[in-house]
Structure 1
Amino acid sequence: MGNIQGFICNLRQRKEIFKRRRRVAVTLDQHKILRFWQKRNWLTLLLVPVSLFFYLVIFIRRLFYKIHLLKSDKPPVPVIVVGNIYIGGTGKTPFVIWLCNWLKSRGYKPGVVSRGYGGDSSKHPLLVTEKTLSQDSGDEPQEIFQATNVPVMVGRDRLANAFELYSKYKCNIIISDDGLQHYRLARDYEFTIFDGSRGKGNGLLFPAGPLREPMSRAVPTKVVINGDNCHDLNGDHFYLRLTNLINLLNGEVVDIHEFTKDKIHAVAGIGNPQRFFNDLRAFGFDVIPHIFPDHYDYSEENLEFNDDIPVIMTGKDSVKCRKFANRKMWIAPVSITVDSEIESDIDDFLKY
């Protein structure tokens, strides 16, 4: 009997390992697709008819909201949406963290609504607290809460969660992390975030290109570009910088310039892992890259590399690795600086 149970247990473990490896393989294919979408070629042009159908669906949906066949609503406080139209990571979450802390410094009490991708939807709506597991809330809401200590509500119904933040937690400004296409939640101000290294890609709608909506959607919004190197977009900029490393086990903080190990394992389960690896290489590290799916739920085995080389990960990944942290694991949090025009524009908006 014991041998049968052991066999079944071993079979389940093998199945889980296979599923995790398959997700990693799918992720590598996804990043190849994003690179493929950077330029126009014969295949992207063949997909344009499908993109035209996609555009028609987008147009009709937006039209229904404009003529009030579909209803939108909001609490009686300012609502700011931080989103993107480019599929993949653009830097929304660091910008949301900066925005929350900036608003707090101005005396506001912001609250954040998030879809909670990667979390357990059966437990939503959910208010993120110190005891919330990232498996329940998703990694980005957890990261936002830990970096800002503002109320963060997770769930599919952003509108209901926004009203909850207003009525129960007395938030006087609501920030939607993502949700540019979630028109049921009305908004007063919109940020569209682009990654400066990718820009608008080939400028085509999905599936011919990387855009969720046409570029015209960004026109009435505040366009903000993550970094430089973007020649096909106009907008203000923000910059993400690595400054310190924080030990995941004991919280020790080390200046990244003074970190003694040259060779590192770099772990990234984010939308644009290559940016993270390049940032580490810029500090002289010999990077061994490990790419995982966005919102990946790590296991201890994922980060066992059978050597003594330090493991450096993003802040987003760290919230899912604390339960099995060891001394080799380090977080590379980002600091953010923004163009002064961004602050001025938000100040002007909040005056009216």
Structure 2
Amino acid sequence: MSLLNLNRAHEQWYRGHLAVWLLAPLALLFYVISALRRLCYKVGLKKAYQADFPVIVVGNISVGGNGKTPVVLALADYYVKRGVKVGILSRGYGGSSTHFPRRVSANDSASEVGDEPRLLAARSQSIVVIDPIRARGAAYLVEQCNCELIICDDGLQHYALVRDVELVVMDDRKVGSGFLLPMGPLREGMWRMNNVDAIIHNSNNIPTFENPVAPQFLMTLVPDEFVNVTTGEKASVDVIRNVPCSAIAGIGAPQRFFNQLKAMGIPLQSQHPLPDHHALSEGDIPKGRVLMTEKDAVKAAPLAHSDCWYLPVTAKISDDFYNLINAKLTSIDLARCETKRNKQHGL
């Protein structure tokens, strides 16, 4: 099946094609197993790790990328500027590394550590660690790296790690068909949207839901100048659009990137949507001027030709959002945080 047909099939599944009802028995099984797992953590049959410092989880209730990484970067930048030592924790999805917990640097290969952790290490001033066992990774960030705040990139359903703040990120696809996996895209039921601290919409407007939901906020992705993948040279939009362009995007919703380029006045002669976390090959990169996301650029670096460019973006969220997070963090058990801080500084 071609990538184009694969993307079309995925869209039909996401929206709830009639054929997905064949998967209803498996969705019911998924619901039962998930509910039992949550219950085990709730009653203490399974033990969850609680870090000595606050944990913020940035996740989603649906599968696929929808803008979590820009939110993680924005949060990390916000707290770093306020003198907090921030650690970012990721599963390292798509990477081949077998050593965990592993600290990620901007020099690491995306094929080893995963595209998102590699991007986070390059863009943030925080310590980035990957570990599929997030409780272990969180302990490493606190005990070995002396971090005072942990921000988890994904992991909303990883209940083995106690969290102080839960954030859900959504794009224009919202909850899709509203069906649970594998019948639909939901990892948890829509009840979860009222069980988190905030919902951030990577969209132009805040949608209305029939069921109660947590406070909602809009996120705007503000583009910077384009950056050449091979040289690091920067170029303005006016310079880029002087040459016919093609675009590739291996993110959860590739059309979102293509639409952003068009909104910037860049006519595209071809668009190449790729699966999220797609392992790029030379055949995926067209000839001529090619535009891509920063997430794709960390994978394309060894393969790119001289006219490949990526577009860095920065998430902008209202002050009300950060005020809500600060209020939540203030309300947690500050004693455990202060005790750990004193131990680290020998007080």
1:208 aligns with 2:183: yes
Residue 262 (structure 1) shift: 4.8
| 1:96 maps to 2:75 | no
Is contact 2:106-2:119 (8 Å) kept?
Answer: no
Give runs of aligned pairs for residues 51-200 of structure 1, distance below 5 A: 51-195=27-171, 197-200=172-175
Q: Distance in 2 between matches of 1:204 and 1:160?
A: 32
Task: Give the secondary-structure state (helix, strand or coil) at the position aligned to 1:320.
Answer: helix
Kindly indicate whether residue 274 of structure 2 is the aligned counterpart of residue 292 of structure 1. yes
Q: Per the alignment, do residues 257 and 338 of structure 1 end up closer, same or farther by CA in structure 2, a change over 3 Å counting?
A: farther
The aligned length equals 324
- The TM-score normalised by the length of structure 2 is 0.87
Indicate conservation of the 8 Å contact 2:206/2:218, yes or no.
Answer: no
Of 264, 283, 290, 2:245 maps to: 264
Q: Which amino acid aligns with 2:200?
A: V
Choose from 207, 231, 253 the match for 2:234.
253
- Using a 3 Å threshold, how does the CA distance of structure 1 residues 41 and 259 change in structure 2: closer, same or farther? closer
Q: Which residue of 2 aligns with 1:310?
A: 289
Q: 1:41 to 1:323 in 2, by over 3 A?
A: closer
Shift of 1:213: 0.7
**How far off is 1:219 after superposition?**
1.2
Q: By how many angstroms is 1:294 displaced?
A: 1.9
Query: Structure 1's 237 and 260: CA in aligned 2 closer, same or farther, altered over 3 A?
Result: closer
SS of 1:336's partner is: strand
- Give the counterpart letter for 2:114 in structure 1: G
Question: Structure 1: how far apart are the matches of 2:108 and 2:156?
Answer: 26
Among 206, 218, 222, the residue aligned to 2:193: 218
Q: Does 1:274 align with 2:255?
A: yes
Displacement of 1:292 after TM fit? 2.4
Q: Deviations over 1:65-91 (max 9, x none)?
A: 101111101221001101001111110
**Cα pair distance change 1:262/1:281, threshold 3 Å:** farther
Q: Is the 8 A contact 1:200 1:232 kept in 2?
A: no
State the partner residue of 1:6.
Answer: none
Mapped to 1, the partners of 2:30 and 2:9 lie a distance apart of: 18
Do the aligned residues in 1 keep the contact of 2:205 with 2:218 (CA within 8 Å)?
no
- Flag structure 2 segments of 5+ consecutive residues without an equivalent: 332-347
Normalised by the size of structure 1, how large is the TM-score? 0.86
Uncovered stretches (5+) of structure 1, i.e. residues with no partner: 1-21
8 Å CA contact 2:15–2:176 kept in 1: the answer is: yes
- 1:48 and 1:230, CA in 2 relative to 1: closer, same or farther beyond 3 A? farther
Question: What percent identity do the matched residue pairs reach?
Answer: 36
Once the 2 structures are TM-superposed, how far is the Cα of residue 301 of structure 1 from its aligned partner?
4.2
Check the 8 A contact 1:80/1:174 in 2, yes or no. yes
Distance in 1, matches of 2:175 and 2:208, equals 7
Distance 1:297 1:39 in 2: 26
Contact map agreement 1:123 1:136 (CA 8 A) in 2: no
CA–CA distance in structure 1, aligned partners of residues 282 and 16 of structure 2 = 41
Tell me what 2:338 maps to: none
Task: Report SS of the residue matched to 1:87.
Answer: coil
Question: What is the match of residue 344 of structure 2?
Answer: none
Residue number in structure 1 paired with 2:219? 238
Q: 1:30 deviation in Å?
A: 4.7
Work out whether residues 241 and 266 of structure 2, in 8 Å CA contact, stay in contact via their aligned partners in 1: no
Question: Is the contact made by 2:164 and 2:329 (CA closer than 8 Å) also made in structure 1?
Answer: no
CA-atom RMSD, angstroms? 1.9
1:205 shift after superposition: 1.0
> Aligned to 1:74, what secondary structure does the other structure show?
coil
Asked if 1 retains the 8 angstrom alpha-carbon contact of 2:170 and 2:200, the reply is yes
Shift of the alpha carbon at 1:334? 1.0
